[in-house]
Chain A
Amino acid sequence: MIPLSHSLTIAALLFVLGLAIILLRRELLFILMGLEVMFNGVALTAIAAGQYWNNPDGQVLTIFLMVVTAAELAVALILVWLAFEHLKTTQVDMLTRLKDDTKGGAP
């Protein structure tokens, strides 16, 4: 039988991998994929725990997770597309119009 901690470990691995993707990749779509991976890590945790506690709440949690992810992803993807349309880039490095003006201000 699978100990709970093993499932949780795999979930944690997925979570951190997703996080690593977000931190390391420069392409917006990759970042979105990283998000998906992270969410899936969470889902695995919930389902494993649901199995452990033997109640459906874990699965319910995962369902809502999917719904929310879908909603969020939809809007996010459109924003990425808008970035491609208007800013002609989907690279994170290029999205630096909004930042602190480090020239320094008043004395």
Chain B
Amino acid sequence: MSQFLWLIPGSPMLGALIIALLGGYLKQRHFSILASCAAAVAFLTVLLAWLMGAATSQPLQQTLYTWIGVGNWMPTIGFTLDRLALVMVSVVSSIGLLIHIYSITFMAGDSDQRRYYFFLNLFLAGMLLLILADNLLLLYLGWELVGLCSFALIGFWYRDPLRASAGRKAFITTRIGDLSLALGIFLLFNEFNELSVSVLLANATVQWETGSQMPILAALLILGGAIGKSAQLPLQIWLPDAMAGPSPVSALIHAATMVTAGVYLIARTYPLFELAPQVQWSVAAIGTLTIIYGASAALAQNDIKRVLAYSTISQVGYMFLALGCGANALALLHLTTHAFFKALLFLTAGTMIRTNDNEHNIHNLGKRGNHSSLIRWCFLIGAASLAGFPIITAGFYSKEAILTATWSAPTGPLLWAFAAFGSLLTAVYIFRVYFFVFQGSRSGSPMPPIPAPMTWSLSILALASLVVGFVEFPEGWPGLHLWSDWLRDELGSASHPTLATAYSLQFIACVLPLIGIGVALVLVRREKLGFELPLAAFLRTGWNFDALYQIILIRPYFTLARFFKNVEALLIEGTLQKMTRSGMTVATACRDGLEYGVLNKSITGLLAGLRLGHMRLSATQNGLLSRYALMISAGAVFLLGYWLW
């Protein structure tokens, strides 16, 4: 099996390559089929891996070649498939395949499908590469590749400058996180002269003491990378804007897969975090804050995709919380369920937006109200799963488990309280959307039928959103505990509270979504009457983070850059002209040259000085014979003077 590992990232890569190179010879609709086939091959390979027993065997390995061999710096193009990776590739490849299929009809009308599918395939390849990479540098490659594709796909409709800017914003913001990751890689390499993840982690656990400086630094740097990619506080600002891309893209990249890359990264390097408990705790803290942040911001949004975007931020916060509490397996579980239900929500939202003339506003969507029942049911399932509707939804199982696990972590009750409040808010905001959109007057014209590929992919996702949770029943319940058992060897397990505590926590977790739905009902009624939420404007702008960054970072940066530009322009152009015109004296040139830009000013000053020297000397060549003789005599006087002196 292991010799086929390369196929997992390789087939979408090949797909992208074929689209790029041979695209000129293909028709628009062939792109979608080609791309879907590439995604399907990847998915089938993963499936094959399951069937061949990858789930139970030792991690699979495949090394293609050494990428950059310099001394100890020996990153390979090599893949490792362990259980963590297996979960991730399964989620990514399956959702990827579904979204490819969904896109066939969704993008059918677009004239630039070549670019779309190129980047979609490339994204899939990058994501799978990131997951399978057996060394940090290859991981970084995948990491950047998905960032790039995200950039390109957010700005897919680039003619709108706002969308193009959103892409750039996403790229640059995540790149700040990437910088941190890169530094982390340098640090680890510098310490261990090794890039392979497994060896690094093994070395780290042996050589570093818990809580010492190095692991803290390393973990912090990696955390920085994860925060950027996963849109956690304070680098979350790019994600809401990223909704400018096509909805399938939002579903795939900005909900199901890429934003969870940070979660994956931390899970992958969790031994480092265990060596740095402080950092681990801050992971949890960041997660908690982000939960509240995202949920509260989502509460006030009127754009359906923005609600989902803030919801994503918030839900990834849960995963971080889980990671911070050491419940890595649970984080992964929530990652999986979230991938399905959030993809489902995005795709239904996308379908609605599509069929309603690009209408994003939930009020207006509700007023139009002509939604097919499939859409309605799918959205309901997704919303329930997101809210963690007890027992029947996948979201309940993953979220409840995280909440329970939180309790026994350091400062657990506090974290739990926040997370639970977030859970309440989640139910409120998502059902607010549901009630707005689907309880409106049904006045519109009858719906056009939804094409088969869309129906299929929505149905599969909806099903998954309900059933995936059953792999892991809550602590103390009868039923399966497959997930945590299976992953325990690789990811460890969190400590659990006592059973009694657990039961009460579980009860609360069951009740909160129900309360939330109730609150949502009330809220929607009152909002329809014109009532505004307190702080709505503040929340709607995502706590004004953009403005804050504008003020404290971006503006000063540009100002500084402009300042330097002006200085240069002033120095080179201005003075040169001025000097050539009036033949300024060398003294002036020197004086001005002492200012900041010694560089160009001194050059122009030099030129002017030389010119002045030329003019002065040239003036002596005035054709007067006596003057010439005088100079000769002066020379003689000078030379003779040397002897007297």
Contact = CB atoms under 8 A, between A and B. Distances in A.
A85 interface: no
Interface in B329-352: none
Contacts of A100: 618-619, 621-622
Interface string B575-604: 000001001000000000000000000000
A3 interface: no
Interface in A38-95: 92-93, 95
A100 B623 CA distance: 8
Interface stretch (B306-314, B394-402, B465-473, B626-634): B626-634
A17 B390 CA distance: 123
Nearest to A98: B623
B610 interface: no
B626 A96 contact: no
Interface string A18-34: 01001111100001000
Contacts of A104: 583, 611, 614-615
A56 B614 CA distance: 50
A93 B629 CA distance: 13
Contact of A96 (B583, B619, B623, B629): B623
B553 interface: no
Given A100-B619, A102-B615, A102-B619, A22 B626 contact: yes
Q: How large is the interface on B (under 10, 10 to 19, 20 to 34, 35 or more residues)?
A: 10 to 19
A9 to B, nearest CB: 15
B629 A95 contact: no
**Best-buried of B611, B619, B625 by chain A (most CB within 10 Å):** B625
A19 B633 contact: yes
Contact of B625 (A92, A97, A107): A92
B514 to A, nearest CB: 83
B326 to A, nearest CB: 72
Nearest to A22: B629
A24 B603 CA distance: 42
Contacts of B633: 19, 23
A96 B622 contact: yes
Nearest to B619: A102
A6 interface: no
A37 to B, nearest CB: 14
Contact of B580 (A22, A26, A107): A107
Given A19-B633, A23-B630, A93 B624 contact: yes
Contacts of A96: 622-624
Contact of B624 (A19, A24, A92): A92
Given A19-B633, A104-B615, A107-B580, A24 B626 contact: yes
A95 B615 contact: no
Nearest to B629: A22
A98 B36 CA distance: 86
Contacts of A19: 629, 633
Contacts of A95: 623, 625
A75 to B, nearest CB: 16
B623 A99 contact: yes
Contacts of B626: 22-26, 31, 92
A47 B622 CA distance: 39
28 contacts: A19-B629, A22-B629, A23-B629, A23-B633, A24-B626, A25-B626, A31-B625, A92-B624, A92-B625, A92-B626, A93-B624, A95-B623, A95-B625, A96-B623, A96-B624, A97-B623, A99-B623, A100-B618, A100-B619, A100-B622, A102-B615, A102-B618, A102-B619, A104-B583, A104-B611, A104-B614, A104-B615, A107-B580
Interface of A: 19, 22-26, 31, 92-93, 95-100, 102, 104, 107
Interface of B: 580, 583, 611, 614-615, 618-619, 621-626, 629-630, 633
Q: Name the 5 nearest CB pairs between A and B, nearest first.
A: A99-B623, A96-B623, A100-B621, A100-B618, A92-B625
